[in-house]
Structure 1
Amino acid sequence: MIKKYPLDELSTVLGRIMGLLLTEEKVDRAVQLLSRAVRDSIPGTLGAGVSILDPNARPVSSGSTDAVVQRADTLQYELVQGPCLTAWATEQSVLIRDVAKDGRWPGWCSAVAGLPIRSVVSTPLLTDGEALGAMKIYAATPNAFDEATTTLMELFAAPAATLLAHIQTTETPARISESLQAALYSRDLINRACGVLMERHTLSEDEALQQLMKQARTSRTTLSEVSAALLAVSTDRPRGTSDGLR
């Protein structure tokens, strides 16, 4: 169980992260420092990472505190599934109490079975209503994190997202503007495609997203392309026929 942080201690940690806004100018360096700050601030954390993702869930910049986190994150990108990508895609925090018993990402959970990872919290980095990426922590024991941990991570993520958005905008304003526009379009496609699958197959939002990710991995395309294809087919075919995603 995570200890309850007193207000002054939490304020100190948040102040440390916000301080980076004035001192750090490069994204790669910033995500590394943020990862270390989060790891050192949350009890029971084995390692932490901060990933910035483009609209197709590809890592643009990624920082991790150790090789275990780096490997766990790399497997998510390779398999196109996992808590970090889900947190980014849904713009909601993800809590895994025990990786060995969680069935939401069977491929990723199986792939990390040999790593000292049992508990996970992944939180989206939200700024101006858009997710730049995700911040995550890993623990070696089950039930190391709970809802209080998730809340604390969300408190960290807010200033972290502000920091990263500021640095990105300062460094490459044109690219980031285009990226955010693409993200808006991509997110709309994915959300609409999930809605179609949820209605057609009585799926939860997470199950629908997993279906899209699986299809993207199988067809070696992006989530946006799979979503656009599904929506195009759905508008042309009678209700009850197959959409190829089950």
Structure 2
Amino acid sequence: MTEIDGQQTIRALAGEFAHLTLLLINARTTAGVLQRVVDAAYRLVPGTELASITLRSPDGRFHTPVETEPVALELDQVQYDTGEGPCVSAAQPDGPAYVRSEDLGADPAWPRFGPAAARHGYHSVLSTAVLPDARPPRLSGALNLYSTRPGGFSEDAQDVALLLSTHASLALARTETFTRAELQAAQLRQAIDSRDVIGQAKGILMQRRGLTADEAFALLRRTSQRLNVKLTEVAEALTARPPTGS
């Protein structure tokens, strides 16, 4: 990258973060703040194909209130179930500022989560702390980013993610309605909506192309990655398209 390209990238990011700051200030709920953060991460952090937020309750339980695609929730849940993984580490109140792995399938740090993530087709992860040093009743958390490519996150990507997590922490610190019930309700609504439209799209592909459910989902995911749009957006476009010959 030339010096001019670098300056243009910095100016573009500065503009994006200025816009994000206004959005976060105007967000009325915690769920709104978190949704804007994961959407911004998807757009701004190079290499990101999935994004989610992990929150850790004062009793030590983890949950994912928002994510860009349902598969991110599945990857997070593997970490919660096994008690290992980057989002579990970064979401601890006294955890590291960030955790990054460039080859999950071969990473000895997470012998159960790493291979499971690789089987899902994701090989790089970057988690950055949100609300570090949080004390009850406030929840600590992490911003989680996934890539299908080994070595998917550079040092520059890490810097942008850390800056984004700082914005999120500041916005959440001033949000008064930081309740688990609100976040779980938002997660449930989004999960139902996302899975419904993806299920419809899979059904269409299975009927029209004679694919299995797994083959249909793989095709949707490849299309999402090739077009660089969310999986749910691909599914929505397919379900909104009239049948061939109509």
| TM-score normalised by structure 1 residue count | 0.62
- Tell me, yes or no, if the aligned pair for 2:50 and 2:72 is still in contact at 8 Å: yes
* 114, 120, 123: which one aligns with 1:118: 123
> Is 1:134 paired with 2:142?
yes
Residue of structure 2 in register with 1:86 after alignment = 89
Q: How does 1:100-179 map onto structure 2 within 5 Å?
A: 100-126=105-131, 129-130=133-134, 132-167=140-175, 170-171=176-177
Distance 2:131 2:116 in 1: 28
Unaligned runs of 5+ in 1: 174-246
- Tell me, yes or no, if the aligned pair for 2:117 and 2:123 is still in contact at 8 Å: no
Distance 2:68 2:107 in 1: 24
Matched residue SS, 2:112: helix
Distance 1:71 1:172 in 2: 24
> Is 1:76 paired with 2:79?
yes
Residue of structure 1 in register with 2:32 after alignment = 29
Distance 1:123 1:144 in 2: 15
- Output one character per residue of 1:40-88: Cα deviation in whole Å (capped at 9) or x when no partner: 1122211111222213442356210001211101111111111001112
Q: How many residues align?
A: 170
Residue of structure 2 in register with 1:62 after alignment = 65
Distance 1:61 1:119 in 2: 19
Unaligned runs of 5+ in 2: 180-246
Bigger shift: residues 102-111 or 52-61: 52-61
- When the two chains are superposed, the root-mean-square deviation of aligned CA atoms in Å is 2.5
List structure 1 runs of 4+ shifted beyond 6 angstroms.
Answer: none
Matched residue SS, 1:112: helix
Matched letter for residue 6 of structure 1: T
Matched residue SS, 2:156: helix
- Output one character per residue of 1:205-235: Cα deviation in whole Å (capped at 9) or x when no partner: xxxxxxxxxxxxxxxxxxxxxxxxxxxxxxx
